[in-house]
């Protein structure tokens, strides 16, 4: 009986020991597998605090990125407000005339695509005029004598007139007329003493009209690359900072006056061949040869154009004196 008991006890001990070793082997195997996995991924890290540090993103960097994105978005929104028509209640045709004397008056036409009557924006305290949806004005358009006006933004305007006048705005620095294609009757940009550049890249039709570019103290460049015909007159007069102007496709004008522009050095009228009267005078830096070349082209094209129809005098290197002084002031025009 004792022998049987001893045999049973020895067998049970063997089973217990075997089971214990087997469990430890599984734990060691699992630990080795985990260690191998960590080594393969390159992320062996025994310290949980260090692991947290690896996943943190500095708050300052995130804030800076968010601020940059916000600034970019604001800049883009500002540009859209000035240059793009975002109106959800666009009015296709505003069948009235309007006299703008305040910001509220201007807001009343901001969603108009076409205005069939006159627009008068005169003697206001406006610092900017922005009409991003306006495409056509079927009557007179006056922007006149606004002492605080700095910006005139009409990015979609294609047609204006009879009569389009941007005059006597002493602080006006920026004019956006990049879509303007047609003007009926007179088009004047005069006495805007802070304006340095004026470009009309799409203007190609002047119906029975004149162009007056006069008394702009700071204007340095004037560019109209597409205009071919001018039924009436072109006056470039007393722009004391104007160094050059360009109408390279213009073929003619009834009267051409380029007078008393103190620093004018050159112009591009390379297609100009027709006129009834030309005066190029009192431009002390403008080569006389350039003026004479233009006159010769007109004489070759028009057999009735003779010496009584033009005067080229008192420009650079000129020995010819003028018969008149051409010293007109604003009140004389």
Task: List residues bridging with 166 in a β-sheet.
Answer: 143, 189
If you average pLDDT over residues 170-190, what whole number do you get? 97
The 10s digit of each residue's pLDDT in 124-150 is: 999 999 999 999 999 999 999 999 999
Q: Is residue 50 one of the residues assigned to a domain?
A: no
Its sign, for the CA torsion 152, 123, 148, 224, is: positive
Q: Is residue 37 one of the residues assigned to a domain?
A: no
Residues 283, 326: Cα–Cα separation, whole Å: 11
Q: Is residue 137 one of the residues assigned to a domain?
A: yes
Using CA atoms, how far residue 158 sits from 43, 87, 184, 190, 298, in Å, is 65, 18, 12, 21, 31
Q: Is residue 320 one of the residues assigned to a domain?
A: yes
At a CB cut-off of 8 Å and minimum separation 6, what does 71 contact? none
Q: Is residue 104 one of the residues assigned to a domain?
A: yes
For the ranges 28-32, 157-161, 317-321, which has the lowest average pLDDT? 28-32
CA nearest to 118, candidates 131, 101, 102, 99: 99
Residue 198's domain spans which residues? 80-326
CA nearest to 191, candidates 237, 137, 124, 157: 237
Residue 170 has pLDDT above 90, yes or no: yes
CA nearest to 247, candidates 262, 232, 231, 225: 225
The 10s digit of each residue's pLDDT in 199-257 is: 999 999 999 999 999 999 999 999 999 999 999 999 999 999 999 999 999 999 999 99
- Torsion-angle region of residue 131: left (phi > 0), alpha (psi -120 to 50) or beta? beta
260 vs 27: which has the higher pLDDT: 260
Structure tokens at 206: 């002047």
Task: Go through the chain and tell me how many residues it has.
Answer: 333
Please give the backbone phi and psi of residue 330, each rounded to the nearest 5 degrees, phi first. -55, -40
Q: Is residue 319 one of the residues assigned to a domain?
A: yes
pLDDT value at position 70? 52
Q: How much of the chain exceeds pLDDT 70, in percent?
A: 74
Q: Is residue 29 one of the residues assigned to a domain?
A: no
The 10s digit of each residue's pLDDT in 83-116 is: 578 767 899 999 999 999 999 999 999 999 999 9
96 touches 73 (CB < 8 A): no
Greatest Cα pair distance, the chain, in angstroms, is 155
What's the number of domains the chain is made of? 1
269 touches 291 (CB < 8 A): no
Using CA atoms, how far residue 128 sits from 85, 109, 223, in Å, is 16, 14, 23
Residues 207, 332: Cα–Cα separation, whole Å: 25
Residues 208, 254: Cα–Cα separation, whole Å: 10
Element containing residue 100 per DSSP (H, E): strand 98-100
Residues 249, 265: Cα–Cα separation, whole Å: 19
250 touches 269 (CB < 8 A): yes
Q: Is residue 187 one of the residues assigned to a domain?
A: yes
Element containing residue 4 per DSSP (H, E): helix 2-41
């Amino acid at each position: 009986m004792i022998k049987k008991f001893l045999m049973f006890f020895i067998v049970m001990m063997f089973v217990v020991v075997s089971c214990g070793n087997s469990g430890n082997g599984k734990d060691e195997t699992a630990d080795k597998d985990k260690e191998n996995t960590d080594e393969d991924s390159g992320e062996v890290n025994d310290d949980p605090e260090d692991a947290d540090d690896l996943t943190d993103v500095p708050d300052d960097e995130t804030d800076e990125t968010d601020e940059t994105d916000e600034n970019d978005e604001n800049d883009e929104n500002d540009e859209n407000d000035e240059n793009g028509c975002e109106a959800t209640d666009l009015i296709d045709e505003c069948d009235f005339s309007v006299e703008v004397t305040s910001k509220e008056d201007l807001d009343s036409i901001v969603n108009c695509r076409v205005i069939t009557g006159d627009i008068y924006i005169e003697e206001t305290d406006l610092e900017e005029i922005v009409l991003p949806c306006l495409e056509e004005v079927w009557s007179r358009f006056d922007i006149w004598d606004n002492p605080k006006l700095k910006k005139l933004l009409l990015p979609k305007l294609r047609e204006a007139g009879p009569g389009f006048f941007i005059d006597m705005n002493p602080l006006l620095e920026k004019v956006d007329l990049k879509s303007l294609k047609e003007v009926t009757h007179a088009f004047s940009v005069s006495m805007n003493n802070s304006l340095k550049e004026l470009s009309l890249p799409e203007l190609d039709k002047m119906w029975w009209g004149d162009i007056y570019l006069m008394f702009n103290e700071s204007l340095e460049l004037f560019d109209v690359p597409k205009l071919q015909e001018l039924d009436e007159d072109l006056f470039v007069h007393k722009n004391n900072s104007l160094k050059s102007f360009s109408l390279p496709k213009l073929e003619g004008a009834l009267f051409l006056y380029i007078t008393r522009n103190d620093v004018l050095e050159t112009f591009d009228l390379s297609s100009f061949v027709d006129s009834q009267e030309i005066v190029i005078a009192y431009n002390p830096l403008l080569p006389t040869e350039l003026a004479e070349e233009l006159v010769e082209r007109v004489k070759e094209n028009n057999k009735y154009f003779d010496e009584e129809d033009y005067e080229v005098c008192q420009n650079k290197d000129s020995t010819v004196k003028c018969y008149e002084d051409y010293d007109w002031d604003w009140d004389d025009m």
